[in-house]
Chain A
């Protein structure tokens, strides 16, 4: 596939990196030559420098025969304009734009083909915000991911001594949790994946990926570790885009203190937020943390765009008694260095946010892709299309499917064909009822099932996608 990526910032380079490894033809456009050179040295792709929204630059980047345009520059205007140009002049079939301003969401007609011609829009800051928000909801989790419109949730937790299932084989789960259906999708022990079988024992310190219907997930988690007290008090360091969005999202339910270094920005934040307490100061300032009673803080989140600051301030916060710390870290090498030490959760914003975008690029009908363990593993939600004759999965039992080693089918979400009536503004409309089925070796996959597949290594993703692709004869 020929892909043009506009913008070589954090999002642009992460997208480029993910796609390059899947053997695509990639051109990156940016106005900053240094950034482009750095990217070109690292990855096998082409770069063009210049204004990403200008027709001549796009033409130079190969727009006339491109299949996909990913506009992820910092500027909404450039991204919108580039999509329109790509549609009008070059007729690029799929156009994805990054839009930060929430205004555009309110007027979806602006993005249709007659206007800005954006097929899919993503807002990385919002995705990261939602992601962190779920971690506040499940303070024990290392990662919280949703599938099938939120019906199924996967949670990564570290198993601890004292959890009911720790030290017991997996096949005892149904006995202990008779009324809920949960599934352990994978276990990482000392960073190495273990294929879970019925006899696998969970050890203390294992990173366990557990999957269940969203309504049951909390119950399932209690079996793995003692539940922590819910998060009531948080301190957010850094009132940038993500810090502000997060504070606004949680201030009504959680006691939020937001530390911002820039006076003017702090004043803006204080007027835009209603309940959060905005503090002007340095998040690595011991006295400030001390006077804001850091030792009583349930979660300390450092969300500035400076990796070093984030690492230092959350380490300091942990040492001073914060119960749990979370840091945004862009550099991959840092993430592995610090997570699990003083910093409980390290989040790579780029890795977190590009999953949605990557889902659009994948072959087959991939509804969601979540990058796990910072890109080492992936969870895919694939829709099975076609019929038993042309598709290698439909109509077969799971044990008969030729899955590559390290890939597991964890759950199936099936449209039951029935529907219930709901009302929106007093107008009734039908909502199809889905059921969540935990995969067993004899479960048969049907057409249009959403299948959630867990891949312990990223290399397996391509094979899984191919497996779900409909044979040519079907069309």
Chain B
């Protein structure tokens, strides 16, 4: 309990502060007069009251957080935030179970974007805005936001930041102080989101749809206000704008920050990850479009290119919008898209998966081993972007990859054991751990996760969090040595 109380104290503070997030749906509920304002006010009161109570009760045991507290705090904060965020859903929809509501909010916060709700087109605007706000907050990370705006995390801030931020090398800070780095990232995130909202509105979307889809695109969440997702608009301009912003969001925000600060676009070229992301996406789009067109799914190549580009970018960046039922495409295409979702997004982006930098490190490491077979005396450190990667990082990446893929395999077994067919299990687990969204077969883009049993829904919720915290930060909490003195 000694370890838990100080963490609970900080948790209480975070909960109280994040109750402010309900303000946005409350305003929307009042503007659209959709009758949900009272529910959101109640939710805000519960969240604030619960947070303050937790804080008050544990105040005496407050102390500076230690590094290991960070993992516990991050894991519990994400789980608890998702739980608290279900309140308005449960209040508005009487028939909704907690299991389903938790899946929905966890899917929102982890930016997975797979939904269990139906008839979104007629859902209250405030509910839709709340779901999308979760996408947006979860994208850059709630701890990063906390570090940016709250001085309370103190010295442990860096540790927390590392536990939440994706990527293998987390020591590079943009500024001398971690709080300034977090502020810079959120500022960049905010500005790009505003640009996306304005453009979407210009392209013909209503303000609500613009805000919601910009939130989902920048957080690479993939929630939509329509059951048919972006396909409901059937608007190539909207699709194009979203493609651009999804690719932007799949790059490292530190790179965006440096580009804005230096007013220089060359940093993108110097960022090996950005080159990898763009190269992989562009070549895959043209290639898969050609394949899909030759297989006869679409009449002409331009149409194939349009639909493949949007859905492939959406899956590869782990966003999860859909404009077509790509599950009906020849099987190579959706599987390739699922594969891209594992490896494409950059570290420091809002996307999921193992991240482009790890993909590059692993590819170079594999190449290094091959070279070593031919030239036993060779000295060839793994180099990414011209600088050598310390071998400790390479080994850590190898360990991570093992855990990551073993998690996928075991969870798929678990789903199959619970009665799901292989394709659905594969699609659900891979899409969940990469925070991508739609899977295959029964959980494909045209259907939704409502078909899953309660047990399977919980497995998916857990998988999403596992993916968002990059396995290690969550897994370490379940190891005996974490709790040993």
Please list the residues of chain A having a beta carbon within 8 angstroms of any beta carbon in chain B: 259-260, 263, 266-267, 269-271, 274, 277-281, 288, 291-292
**Does B377 lie within 8 Å of A288, measured CB to CB?**
yes
Tell me if B377 and A281 are in contact (CB < 8 A).
yes
Residues in B with CB closer than 8 Å to A291 are 375-377
Q: Which of B371, B379, B386, B388 interacts with A280 by CB under 8 Å?
A: B379
B381 and A270 contacting across the interface, CB-CB below 8 Å: yes
Residue in contact with B378 in the complex, picked from A263, A271, A274, A279, CB distance below 8 Å: A279
Residues of A within 8 A of B383 (CB): 271, 274
Assess whether B375 is in contact with A271, with CB atoms less than 8 Å apart: no
Whether B388 contacts A277 by the Cβ 8 Å rule is: no
Contacts of B297 in A (CB 8 A): none
Q: Is B380 an interface position by the 8 A CB rule?
A: yes
- Report which residue of B375, B378, B379, B381 has the largest number of chain A beta carbons within 10 angstroms of its beta carbon: B379
The A-contacting residues of B in range 340-398, CB under 8 angstroms, are 371, 375-381, 383, 386-388
Q: Are A270 and B379 in contact (CB under 8 A)?
A: yes
Report chain A residues within 8 Å CB of B377. 259, 279-281, 288, 291-292
A274-B386 in contact given A266-B379, A288-B377 (Cβ < 8 Å): yes
**With contact pairs A277-B380, A278-B380 given, residues A270 and B375 touching in the complex (Cβ less than 8 Å):** no
Asked whether, in the complex, the Cβ of B380 is within 8 Å of the Cβ of A270, the reply is yes
Q: Bin the interface of chain B by size.
A: 10 to 19
Query: What's the nearest-Cβ distance from chain A to residue B158, in Å?
Result: 27
A292 lies within 8 A of B375 (CB):
yes
Q: Which residue of B lies closest to A270 (CB)?
A: B379
Evaluate contact between A279 and B379: CB separation under 8 angstroms.
Answer: yes
Complex interface: chain A residues within 8 A of B375 (CB): 277, 279, 291-292
Chain B residues positioned under 8 Å from A267 (CB to CB): 379, 381, 388
Instruction: Name 21 interchain pairs, CB-CB below 8 A, sorted by A.
Output: A263-B379, A267-B381, A267-B388, A269-B379, A270-B379, A270-B380, A270-B381, A271-B381, A271-B383, A271-B387, A271-B388, A274-B383, A274-B386, A278-B378, A278-B379, A279-B375, A279-B377, A279-B378, A280-B378, A288-B377, A291-B375
CB distance from B456 to the nearest CB of A (A): 48
Chain A residues whose C-beta falls within 8 Å of the C-beta of B380 in the assembled complex:
270, 277-278
Q: How far is the CA of A240 from the CA of B332 in the complex (A)?
A: 52
A-B contact count (CB 8 A): 39
Q: Which A residues are CB-close (under 8 A) to B386?
A: 274
> C-beta contact mask, B228-272 vs A, less than 8 Å → 1, else 0?
000000000000000000000000000000000000000000000
Mask: chain B, 200-211; 1 = CB below 8 Å from A; 0 = not: 000000000000
Residue on B nearest A291 in the bound complex, by CB: B376
- Which residue from chain B places its CB closest to the CB of A260 in the assembled complex? B379
Complex formed: what's the CA distance from A259 to B375 in Å? 12
- B71 CB to closest chain A CB (Å) equals 32
B386's nearest neighbour on chain A, judged by CB, is A274
**A288 and B376 alpha carbons, distance in the complex (Å):** 9
CA of A277 to CA of B386, assembled, Å: 15
**Those of B206-220 within 8 Å (CB) of chain A:** none
Residue among A269, A271, A278, A291 with the highest chain B CB neighbour number at 10 A: A271
Q: Which residues of B contact A270 (CB under 8 A)?
A: 379-381, 388
Min CB gap A237→B, angstroms: 13
* Measured CA separation A270–B364 after assembly (Å): 14
Chain A residues with Cβ under 8 A from B371's Cβ?
A: 277
Q: Which 8 A-B pairs have the closest CB atoms?
A: A271-B388, A266-B379, A279-B377, A281-B377, A270-B379, A278-B379, A280-B379, A271-B381
Cα–Cα distance between A160 and B387 once the two chains are bound (Å) = 47
Q: How far is the CB of A271 from chain B (nearest CB, A)?
A: 4
Closest to B388 in A: A271
Question: Residue of A at shortest CB range from B383?
Answer: A271
Q: How far is the CB of B96 from chain A (nearest CB, A)?
A: 56
- Give chain B interface residues in 293-346, CB to chain A under 8 Å: none
Tell me the bound Cα distance from A288 to B388 in angstroms.
25
* Contacting residues, chain B, for A288 (C-beta < 8 A): 377
Q: Which residues of A contact B379 (CB under 8 A)?
A: 260, 263, 266-267, 269-270, 278-280
| Nearest CB of B to A40, in Å | 43
B residues 377-427 near A (Cβ < 8 Å) are 377-381, 383, 386-388
Chain B residue at minimal CB-CB distance from A285: B377
> Please, which residues of chain B bring their CB within 8 A of the CB of A278?
378-380
Give B380's nearest chain A residue, CB to CB: A270
- Report the separation of the CA atoms of residues A291 and B374 in the bound assembly, to the nearest whole angstrom: 9
- Chain B's closest residue to A263 (CB) is B379
**Measured between alpha carbons, how far is A274 from B379 in the docked complex, in Å?**
12
Complex: chain B residue closest to A257, CB-CB: B375
Enumerate chain B residues within 8 angstroms of A271, measured Cβ to Cβ: 381, 383, 387-388
Q: Is the CB of B376 within 8 A of A277?
A: no
Which residues of B have CB within 8 Å of A281?
Answer: 377
The docked-state distance in angstroms from the alpha carbon of A259 to that of B380 is 12
CA gap between A369 and B450 in the complex, in Å: 85
* Most B C-beta atoms less than 10 A away, residue of A263, A278, A288: A278
B169 to chain A, nearest CB (A): 15
Chain A residues in 8 Å Cβ range of B378: 277-280
- Cα separation A358 to B387 with both chains bound (whole Å): 40
Using CB atoms, name the residue of chain B closest to A266: B379
